[in-house]
Amino acid sequence: MKAKGIYFIILFTLLLAYSCEDFLDKPIQGFQVSENYFATEEECQRAVFGCYESLSPDDWWQLDFFWMVGDVCSDEAFKGNSIEGDQRDFGNLANFNIHSNNEWVEFKWLYTYATISRCNLVIDKVPDSPSSEENIKRFVAEAKFLRAFAYFELVKNFGGVPIILNEISAGDPVVKRSTEEEVFAQIEKDLEEASRALPLKSEQAAEELGRATKGAAHAFLAKAYVYQEKWSEAQIYSDSVIISGEYNLNDAFGDVWSVNNPNGNGSIFEIQHSFDDIYYVGTAVPVLSRSRADGGWGFGTPSSYLENAMEGDPRLSWTIIKEGDYVDADHPSYNTQLTENESGRINRKYYLNYTDRPSKDEHLRSGLNHILFRYADLLLLHAEITYHNGRESESLLALNQVRTRVALSPENAGGISLLKAIHKERQLELAMEGHRYYDLTRTGRLTEVIQDFFDYNQNRSTDPYDAGHNKGTLFRPGVHELFPIPASEIALSEYQIQQNFGY
Amino acid sequence: MKRIYYTVLLLIVSFIFFADIMAQEKQTLTGQVITEEGPALGANVTIRGTAIGTITDVNGNYSLQVEAGDTIVISYIGYRSEEVPYTNQEIYNLTLIPDVTELEQVVVVGYGEVKKKDLTGAISVIRGDKLETREAASVQEVLQGQLAGVQVMSRGGQPGAEATILVRGISTINDNNPLYIVDGSPLEDIEFLNPKDIESVQVLKDASASAIYGSKASNGVIIIETKRAKTGAVIINFDASVGQESVSRKPEVADAHEYTRIANLAAENSGQAPIYPDPDIFGAGTDWWDEVMQNGLVQNYNLSLSKGTEDFKVTTGVNYFNQEGILEGGGYERYNFKLNTEFQLTPKIKIGENITIARSTTTNGPNVVWDAQLIEPITSVYRPEYEQEGLNEYSIYSPTTTDVGNPVAQIARNFYTTDYFRVVGNAYLEWDIAAGLKFKSQYNIYLSNWEQNWFGPDYFIEQTDKRDVNSVSRAHNNRINNIWENYLTYHKDLGKHSITALAGMSMESRLHKTLYGEGEDTPNNSSSLRFLSATTGSWQSVTWNGSSVQPSNEESTLLSYFGRLNYSFSGRYILAASLRADGSSKFPENNRWGIFPAVSGAWVISEESFMESQDWLNQLKIRAGWGQVGNQFFEDVNARYSRMGIYYTTMGANQDVVIGAAPSSIGNSLLKWETVEDINLGLDFSALNNKLVYSLDLYQRKSKDMILWTSVPGYMGFGYTQQLTNIGELAAKGYEMMFKYRDAVGEFRYELGFNLSSAKTRIEKLVHGESVTDGNHQRLDMLTTTMEGETAGTFYGYVTDGIFQNLTEINSHSDEQGNLLQAQAEPGDFRFLDINNDGILNDNDKRVIGNPEPDFTYGINGYMSYKGIDLSLLFTGSYGNDVLNAIKPYSATGEGYYNSEKGLLERGWNGENSTNTQPVIKAVDQNQNFRYSDYYIEDGSYIRLKNVQLAYNFPERILAPIKIKKAKIYISAENVYTFTPFSGLDPDMGGRPTVRGIDWGHYPLPKRFTIGLKLTL
């Protein structure tokens, strides 16, 4: 018996000693990992589409909503939805009650960097992939274009930001903010490099329409130089876009934002959206901005101040829908839900009529492409560029092209009144498209405009809907030209990332 | 319901009837009672169930008048009581056996047993008979207030809810669930267990005791043994109880008359026209609370059989539990079956199994506890009849003027159930290889199939409360866990030396699979079509990579080696040491293995020769222990990988959907074990023939490398995706004590117990020093902050400093330059403190305004018995914790929208010096009076009479002729009364470490009255 016991102990010890390491190796079940992705050309292509996808992530809140900030942080529009607790932080932005924990500022920061990180991965990994040489160049160029676009968004909203150009991990040292100049230099470098490998719009196959083009890269280069007031560099690229002949103003103004005219004649770059029964590949913007009485959420409502500025302008009816307006047969007298609307108006540009609305989940599925850059924008920038370069006749030519489309008489002012005319034209042509706030800040006019807007609302307005609005009370000149760096990011950097002035 | 009461009543009446017809003639019985030490002087000799009795004289002799059928009870302090049926004998002599006191009781400590007197670690023990008096669905619930070092917090009174259990407070800001060992099977889930089946519960509290379970033990280990057959004839137990649950505290809310006047006052104070020009037309209005609450029935039936011979033992039983709950629309039902068998195959080899099969169904009623308080009382439940025409049955309810959905309608359209099917058990083989050497191999399984079915009928109440198309979903969640354990134990006594050694290994695999599908548009809402197969609309749920279902597969393994050595010299000096090595597949290859050592020792002072003369003392022991345990209880088995996700987008002239890809998670290839290290000092004391028992434990604990989901810098580009990271340290200090005294005066026996536990925790370190906020409240934003230097989940907000009584006070609340801190304020508004004195009132002026961690929790229990009547009482309590009343931002503002607390109309500020605590009622709160401040923090201390039970044991002379061994009837009351300063419904609420002590409108604990019967045949 004793012997048996000893044998057993030996056997048992062997069992203990038996290295069961295999037992601890569990294979991955049901997903791919990024380490060994980019193993085929198709995977590379998908990663590039993943970069485009990041411009409008699947839900409404990550980035779609922020496109309205360019309107609501200016004289053009209000928060809109007057229910205080409904997106309170969006109201805080619109009323310049801005703190570093504002969620919308945080979303913009986080999801713009998501574009950057996806592009960085493509730029890092695609060159070593088994893709064709041509496609490698093309994929990398598209990623650089999108990365530059993302940094442009960041520099417009936050000033100098941390520049990340490669894949990084959480344990890496904190990346501090670069200066605005450094960010712009990176944008220029990426766009310049991208433009060399990108095709012209006319060279794109039908299924490629919507992807980055040489024209788009040059247009953004022109804009990047405009933001830095480097007028001569800017003109190289605005000239290039115009001379290319790729774009025109042949679409009627009312069709520019039509859901039935995606990537139209004047389209330089837009986010692609469509309605699909299965996939959430649409945008939220039409629902976010529509009247609450019409199934919308009622945000970003145009001001009477903007309407007054557009008085007599043929673009007005394509820009603003006012309480009681005839819109279409289904909406003969439009209800803007006055009890929950700060201004009795809504944005026409994002409006979809009944037949164009998705049957469900509109806030994830609306099929309206979101135009980020169109030819009229480029022409008006060109007008501004050439004005600053002392070429007023060229400037007038560009300006009047825009006016002619909507049958307005040509402008022939000169000197400072020409510049004012160009600014005014930008205001009217691009109203409610998310540009106004940035145009005001880059030209140093934000304070003056907000003060006049405040004075109008408080003292001069007789508008039945928005007279007396106190927007602007909390505006702080010299501070609100930029948004705060999100408090969370500063904390995560252990305070090595510095806050913007005044926050 | 009624029928059951009648049945029970009938049974009671028949017993009494039998009692009457059994009277017979008396005879004399004499005898001597002796002990090991000689004749017993003063031993009680009584007839069971009567007042008749005597005591023994100096020689231990007694004489008593008895009759046939009596049972003689002989009891003597320090010795085991004996019961003898009187069978016409004339003389009965007896030698008493010393009582196997608590000190001699065997305590299960994990892969082995130790006598309580030899314990070196911090272990709390309770026997099943102490828990039997409780009528509760879950084991956690019956443990509340019973054990030092174990804090149980209710997770609400909804049917089937389990309570939160913490062993020595929180040890991590993640999951704090302890490990359960049920009949040797390591488990995380014990919902299948019937509390009445419990034989004993032992809680391994410190690391020196629990380190044998290594990486699973960081939150403590609760070892539960269920009742087993003993050698003897068949025993049949039958228990039945029926009870009723009712609301223990009804919230006091304004009626329609007050509601409309508050709304008018709010409008008036904000310069608006009154909303209800004639508030006098409103009477009481709808009492929504009464509309949704009910008295709920609770039933519990239990039948068990056991029989044992030398070679074969079997226990089997069935249990049925059903609870309706006090909120309409919910319910919980559970059936379980268990079977334990053990065979002695050869004199050396034994095999056995334990298996439980349990099925439960929870009807997940909507929680309308808040809605019923906040909905306006001026609205009726149903639409007027003429409006109901043509509407389906879910649409006949009144729309509301607030965003609160009609609570009765919510209940009516609720079709939401969770079904659980579990098979839990083990099979084992024990082999006595040689003298003192034993081998055991045990295979444990845990299978669970969880299924959730939901159906939402189409309905229309108003534009903001409707469902256009009905929809249906189903989710499956399956787990298969296997653990195979093999170990050898060796025991040897050599003179005064005693050694026990253990060595073993265990292999564990866990498989977790889920599947979810959702569809819409079934032809109609009838019950036969509330299935996915009936849907005609497109699949709705495509968030999972375009597939119409959401699947997941997770598998992990754990490989462990462990050993332990116990050494005792003369029962006086005791040493124990253990070591466990765990390898887990969840960690990257380099960090897989964790080593968890522990040592502990005890000095039994009372065994020393110099203590010999202290007869009054039974044991005095001091203990000390140190150990390390681990934590790998995070669900994500793929935390080390960065996954590629699929992201669809649109591209091309035809606007085609194209597939995009991008990383969807950030793996952490450096992830390693979380370790918890502690030191424990203990004292055990028992005296006066073990009538008095006292023990005290002090400990300090540190959790290192806490595994946390943490934010990564935003510029990494992962949005809100978090990463499991190892940064974070938590320290804890605490003590607990237990005191027990029991005695008997004649036939009156009593026992009093008291236990108290304190655990104070402090976050020592967090990732990048980053605070973690949690508890998102619609009106107050993030309610808690977890930051360095504080405990987890502190309340963090503004500080009020009374109310501005007049303009002068507003104007003097300014910075040095005279700038007003609260320019928008008016008299009657709150004054908030500018904590950092920077002249601006903003987020930087928030500070810790409340601590959800109690200073201590405690339990007091008492048992009394006299002639077959038993009375037991249990008080539980908590002291020094703050709670956040999260309904007040709606119910106490009086902004005239949601309904308010009753009496708010009078309580609100209404002129200089009217009040300094409740701001003026206003529709527009420009001063943000109701921002997150200490206004919402209340003292959450309480003491609750948790349970009272009164039982009557029928005397044997009645039972013997009808062949019943024991019969007991009882009445029991749970949650009888609560003393608390808290103004909400119930101060006892659980939560997770970063969100606790917040009254989110959780389902309050009901009162419960139960009547029951227990028979042993």
Q: Provide the residue-wise pLDDT of chain A in tens; the chain has 503 residues.
A: 456 666 766 776 666 666 566 888 888 888 899 888 999 999 999 999 999 999 999 889 999 999 999 999 999 999 999 887 788 889 999 999 998 889 999 999 999 999 999 999 999 999 999 999 999 999 999 999 999 999 999 999 999 999 999 998 887 899 999 999 999 999 999 999 999 999 999 999 999 999 999 999 999 999 999 999 999 999 999 999 999 999 999 999 999 999 999 999 999 999 999 998 778 899 999 999 999 999 899 999 999 999 999 999 999 999 999 999 999 999 999 999 998 899 999 999 999 999 999 877 788 889 999 999 999 999 999 999 999 999 999 999 999 999 999 999 999 999 999 999 999 999 999 999 999 999 999 999 999 999 999 999 999 999 999 999 989 989 999 999 999 999 889 888 878 999 999 88
Task: Write down the pLDDT at residue B724.
Answer: 85
Task: Write down the pLDDT at residue B777.
Answer: 86
Q: Which residues sit opposite A77 in a β-bridge?
A: A302
How many Cβ contacts (< 8 angstroms) between chains A and B? Answer: 227
Neighbours of A213 (CB within 10 A): 26
What token pair was written down for B580? Answer: 């466990």
Decide if A46 touches B, using CB distance below 8 A: yes
Residue A106 contacts residue A486 (beta carbons within 8 Å)? yes
What token pair was written down for B122? Answer: 């911090």
Task: Work out the minimum CA distance from A455 to partner chain B, whole angstroms.
Answer: 21
Task: Work out the minimum CA distance from B341 to partner chain A, whole angstroms.
Answer: 26
Residue A417 falls within a domain, yes or no? yes
Task: Write down the pLDDT at residue B745.
Answer: 86
Residue B500 falls within a domain, yes or no? no
Task: Write down the pLDDT at residue A21.
Answer: 61
Q: Which single residue is written with the structure tokens 């009482």?
A: B873
Residue A159 falls within a domain, yes or no? yes
Closest-CA residue of chain A to B585: A24
Decide if A122 touches B, using CB distance below 8 A: no
Domain encompassing residue A122: 45-70+102-435
Closest CB to A33 among B642, B713, B714: B642
- Asked if B647's CB is within 8 angstroms of A58's CB, the reply is yes
Neighbours of B279 (CB within 10 A): 19
CATH code for the domain in which residue B26 is found = 2.60.40.10
Task: Write down the pLDDT at residue B11.
Answer: 47
- Asked if A50's CB is within 8 angstroms of B660's CB, the reply is yes
Q: Which single residue is written with the structure tokens 């509309």?
A: B291
Domain encompassing residue B18: 2-95
Residues of A in contact with B561 (CB under 8 A): 16
Instruction: Tell me the DSSP string of B276-331.
Output: SS-GGG--S---HHHHHB--EEEEEEEEEEEEE-SSEEEEEEEEEEEE--SBTT-E
Task: Write down the pLDDT at residue B42.
Answer: 79
Residues 6+ apart with CB under 8 A from A452: A75
Chain B neighbours among A 205-264 (CB < 8 Å)? 206-211, 262-263
Instruction: Tell me the DSSP string of B798-815.
Output: B-EEEE--SHHHHHHSB-
Q: Which single residue is written with the structure tokens 């008048």?
A: B65
- C-alpha span between A150 and B634 (Å, rounded): 35
Helix (H, G, I), strand (E, B) or coil at B421: strand
Q: Which single residue is written with the structure tokens 């979303």?
A: A107
Segments in chain B below pLDDT 50: 1-3, 5-23, 540-542, 544-546
Closest CB to B652 among A15, A57, A209: A209
Closest CB to B439 among A8, A25, A164: A8
Q: Which residues sit opposite B684 in a β-bridge?
A: B621, B695
Decide if A24 touches B, using CB distance below 8 A: yes
What token pair was written down for B401? Answer: 């003027």
- Residue to test with chain B: of A7, A40, A44, A53, most B Cβ within 10 A: A53
Q: Taking Cα atoms as reference points, which of B266, B214, B272 lies closest to residue B893?
A: B266
Decide if A173 touches B, using CB distance below 8 A: no
Residue type, B569: F
Task: Write down the pLDDT at residue B14.
Answer: 46
Task: Write down the pLDDT at residue B17.
Answer: 43
Instruction: Tell me the DSSP string of A235-270.
Output: HHHHHHHHHHT-----S-HHHHT-TT-TT-TTEEEE
CATH code for the domain in which residue A398 is found = 1.25.40.390
In chain B, the number of structural domains is 1
Residue B87 falls within a domain, yes or no? yes
Task: Work out the minimum CA distance from B209 to partner chain A, whole angstroms.
Answer: 23
- C-alpha span between B919 and B827 (Å, rounded): 9
Closest CB to B655 among A9, A37, A262: A262
Neighbours of A140 (CB within 10 A): 23
- C-alpha span between A413 and B596 (Å, rounded): 84
b vs e for A144-160, b when ≥16 Cβ sit within 10 Å of the residue's Cβ?
bbbbbbbbbbbbbbbbb
Q: Which residues sit opposite B848 in a β-bridge?
A: B796
Residues of A in contact with B662 (CB under 8 A): 47, 50-51, 53-54, 114, 118, 121
Instruction: Tell me the DSSP string of B201-265.
Output: EEEE-SHHHHGGGGGG-TT-EEEEEE----SEEEEEEEEEEEEEEE-S----B--HHHHHHHHHH
- Asked if B650's CB is within 8 angstroms of A273's CB, the reply is yes
In chain A, the number of structural domains is 1
- C-alpha span between A213 and B676 (Å, rounded): 57
Neighbours of A493 (CB within 10 A): 22
Question: What single-letter DSSP state applies at residue A343?
Answer: S
Task: Work out the minimum CA distance from A23 to partner chain B, whole angstroms.
Answer: 7
Residue B23 falls within a domain, yes or no? yes
Task: Work out the minimum CA distance from B347 to partner chain A, whole angstroms.
Answer: 13
Task: Work out the minimum CA distance from B734 to partner chain A, whole angstroms.
Answer: 32
Q: Which residues sit opposite B945 in a β-bridge?
A: B875, B977
Beta strand extents in B807-855 (DSSP E only): 830-832, 847-850
Helix (H) or strand (E) holding A49: helix A41-53
Beta strand extents in B688-832 (DSSP E only): 692-704, 708-711, 722-725, 728-745, 748-766, 772-777, 781-786, 794-797, 800-803, 830-832
Task: Work out the minimum CA distance from A164 to partner chain B, whole angstroms.
Answer: 8
- Asked if A170's CB is within 8 angstroms of B657's CB, the reply is no
Decide if A503 touches B, using CB distance below 8 A: no
